Structure 1
Amino acid sequence: MKTKIQILGLITVLSVGLVLALYLRSRSISNQNNGFVRSIKIGLLTQEKEIVINAGKLGIAGADYTGFYLWDRLEIGRILTFNIHKLDTQTRVIAFPDTSKNGFGRTDIQIAPPYFYVTNLKTNHIFYGTISDWQVKGLITYPSKANKVYMTKSTKVLARIVDRGLLNLGHWYPGQTAFAKSPAFDGIQGDGVFSRDGMFLYDQNNKRLVYLFHYFNQFLVMNDSLKLLAKEHTIDTVTKIKYKLGQLDKGELGMASPMAIVNRKSCLEGDWLYVNSGLRADNESVNDFELNSPIDVYNVKNGKYLFSFYLPKYKGDWVTNFTISKGKLLATYKQGIVLYRFSNHI
């Protein structure tokens, strides 16, 4: 028995050591010379408000003229509103029918005023209502598994779907039997899972979508029927995914070699795409890169890189997510949320 415990302890130590080694190797890749430069604007942001809170559990749901909406991943239906005029927060709770919250698995919330949408990704259900009273008014059931869902104003469902083990994009109207798949991913390199992993961004006002890949320097611009309008590139030079696949616990497929995340987080506002890059530019110091999160800005209408700016660390942590609306930037960190104002010369 003692020998088994010692073996288990050794395995645990080795596992932790392997994870740490992979992380350090990934940071090393991020910090090396990566063959590109940034045009960095200094002094672009002014901090307006900070709120110390466990923001690691908060997701960004949307924005309007009053401010931003965040949702609690641990408490289904709990919404935190951040008013950019009063610089305060309030808590709202979505009221579900008596049994609707039973069986909730992985959840996602989208707020596109005046509507809210709560997606149960486990059961393929979308609950919807209005923010005037935060009451669930109805339910939509879409036909197949997805891991990211958007509702449009025309009740079309846009989704990143799991199709025969591969990630794809699809759209669906209530009454149809299946998602109509987009050809946007045709010709994408790699295994069809990690190679297609990325961020699915939707702009309600312009009926435009952007898909930004995590592990190489490409983003796709589409309309809300998922017709591909353009393939564009970020400023870094990572054109091919470099990794090895291996078997993890329970026979699952996973990464067996470390690699840097090229594009960490992002948001879309109007014609501009904001990308939190995971790679240091050749004209950046290691110190600047370690103390800040670089945000690269692109025009999605023509794919051009415009400029970059820094989001500083907060209480020693890099930004975990961010969104932009009406000249304000809301950033979430592990220990708080911070509101910034852009200067007039943006």
Structure 2
Amino acid sequence: MKKINPQIPVIIGYFFVLLFCYAAVSKLLDFENFQLQLAQSPLLSAYAGFISYAVISIEFIISLLLCFPQTRVVGLYASLSLMSGFTIYIYLILNYSDFIPCSCGGILEKLGWTEHLIFNTICVILVVAGIIIFEKRKAPRLILPAVFCSSTIVISSAIVIILFSSSEYIIKKDNNFTRRFLLHPVLEDKSLDLALNSYYFAGISGNNIYLGNVTAPLLLTTVDTALNTTRVLRVHLDKSDYPFRSLQLQVKDSSYYLYDGSIPIIYRGTLGDTMVHTISYQDAFFTQLAIIDSLHFIIRTQSSQNRQYMLATLNLPEIPKLHLYPSILEKQIDGVFDVDGKFTFSPNSTEVLYTYTYRNQILAMDKQLNILRKLHTIDTTTIAKIQTRRLSDGTHKMSAPPLKVNGTVASNRNLLFIHSNLKGRHESSKMWKRASVVDIYRTDQQEYIGSFYIENKGKTAFSHIAIDDQYLYVLIEKELKRYRFREPISKYFN
């Protein structure tokens, strides 16, 4: 039998020295951001200050232990303990957390969470192999090293699991509101395999649904509302030499619009025509856009003085084109995250809706941004439960996991559909793992209509919804699903 090279544990040890030193130095160089990322964790937010120093110190200490022959085996066991804890934590975040925070510096910041899990698992296997090879030189029987390795993994994992299960999940808490679930308000009747999970709804016009694609922003996909035929249009820009970050598509009536608010530009094209033309350039930067008609828009932009969000109208025929309304979005904490929300503008309504993400409020406005009504969702979150910090470069970042109240929204006529992120009183935890809740509100007056569930696909909830007078359309994983409205909802559209 070929003898195993005794230098393998040394090589493995130096690999972890490089890994831990690089990770620790990377965290130190961007320490402020590292602390913020830790504070966003569902598990670590309460201990972010202590852990930010402890993790860096432990990584340096383990690196020192691995450098010397006398302490190398201790360093390997310490590496196994740390990597086991990291691995089970990432597994729990991916599979059991309702809130997935940012990654935490160093090499990990360049990887997605799934890649983190794979990388850490390989590291655990590698360090176990190093320990076994190292210990085999002392004694041919490996029972004791195997027991030590198993115990280290189990203890580290158990500590993380106990902390995770006992941590205060922001979204898992029951709230003091009670939903009224409607009796079979929607019925799934058809689905279409889209082959990709990167689509979003660009709009509904006539008998067609229009889809944009985040990975192919110049493709406009048309699906008939019967979900029978699909056509793809490749869009050509009249001028395209801009450093776009995220081009978005919207369809309104017989036109489609392409824009990227980080570049102050809006294109417009006619449905069926591949060429889009610039209709607005250098008029305004924006983070969201609602299309009123071909020349009039409502945008959400940021103040050049304090970088807080505000609403504005962009009317291309007028001089000046841009009119700012800094007082509409009411600041509670930072004027950025606390006023975050989503526009909805139904083709069957003259009102623009702005639904706050982190508080239970909906603004109903006319096309000139006059507030018509301030409506409320049924939960009790009147003040945004967020913690933010302004960094030295002027940007704002979350410093703790937020309480996200409202998710994806869609509207039609005088009804607003909201994917809720809060579990109400007496609701089944088992059902919340299987399905997502949609709440329905009237927008012409303060009235909660009721709620219903949309089944998840495996562990994945739907990502986008769209509505017309007959159907609710849902994008979930790689599928477009159609649900027929039944009497509890359809009566509002008839």
What's the secondary structure of 1:28's corresponding residue?
Answer: coil
- Bigger strand share: 1
Q: What TM-score do the two structures reach when normalised by structure 1? A: 0.89
Kept in 2: contact 1:55–1:332 (CA 8 A):
no
- Mapped to 1, the partners of 2:428 and 2:270 lie a distance apart of 47
SS of alignment partner, residue 440 of structure 2: strand
Q: Is the 8 A contact 1:184 1:228 kept in 2?
A: no
1:293-308 matches, cutoff 5 A = 293-308=436-451
> Which residue of structure 1 aligns with residue 54 of structure 2?
none
Q: Structure 2 matches for 1:204-223, cutoff 5 A?
A: 204-223=347-366
Q: 2:169 aligns with which of 25, 28, 39?
A: 28
1:139-194 CA-to-partner distances (Å, cap 9, x unmatched) read 32252210111232261121001113010000021243452123552543121000
- 1:3-152 to 2 correspondences below 5 Å: 3-9=17-23, 19=41, 21=43, 24=97, 26=99, 28-53=169-194, 55-85=196-226, 87-97=228-238, 99-100=239-240, 102-141=242-281, 143-152=283-292
* Structure 1 unaligned blocks of 5 or more: none
Q: 1:67, 1:232 → 2: CA distance? A: 31
Deviates more, 1:234-243 or 1:210-219: 234-243
- Residue aligning to 1:342: 485
Q: Select the structure with the greater relative contact order (CA < 8 A; seq sep ≥ 6).
A: 1
CA 251–160 in structure 1, closer or farther in 2 if over 3 Å, else same: closer
For residue 466 of structure 2, what is the aligned residue in structure 1? 323
The 3 A distance-change label for structure 1 pair 50 and 250 is: farther
**What's the CA shift for 1:263?**
0.2
Amino acid at match of 1:148: Q
Alpha carbons of structure 1 residues 149 and 187: separation in structure 2 relative to 1, 3 Å: closer
**Given the alignment, which residue of 166, 170, 185 partners 2:328?**
185
Question: Percentage identity across aligned positions?
Answer: 21
Aligned to 1:173: 315
Distance 1:86 1:36 in 2: 38
- SS of residue in 1 equivalent to 2:287: strand
Q: Which has the larger radius of gyration?
A: 2
Residues 315, 176 of structure 1: alpha-carbon distance in 2 compared, 3 angstrom cutoff: farther
What's the CA shift for 1:116? 0.7
Cα distance in 2, alignment partners of residues 17 and 240 from structure 1 = 20
For 1:269 and 1:71, the matched residues in 2 are separated by 20
In 2, Cα distance between equivalents of 1:244 and 1:139: 39
Consecutive unaligned residues of structure 2, counting only runs of 5 or more, are 1-13, 28-33, 46-92, 100-167, 490-494
Question: What is the aligned residue count?
Answer: 345
Structure 2 residue aligned with 1:245: 388
Which residue pairs with 1:256 in the alignment?
399
Deviates more, 1:3-12 or 1:335-344: 3-12
TM-score (norm 2): 0.64
Aligned-residue offset at 1:212: 0.5
For residue 305 of structure 1, report the CA deviation from its aligned partner: 0.6
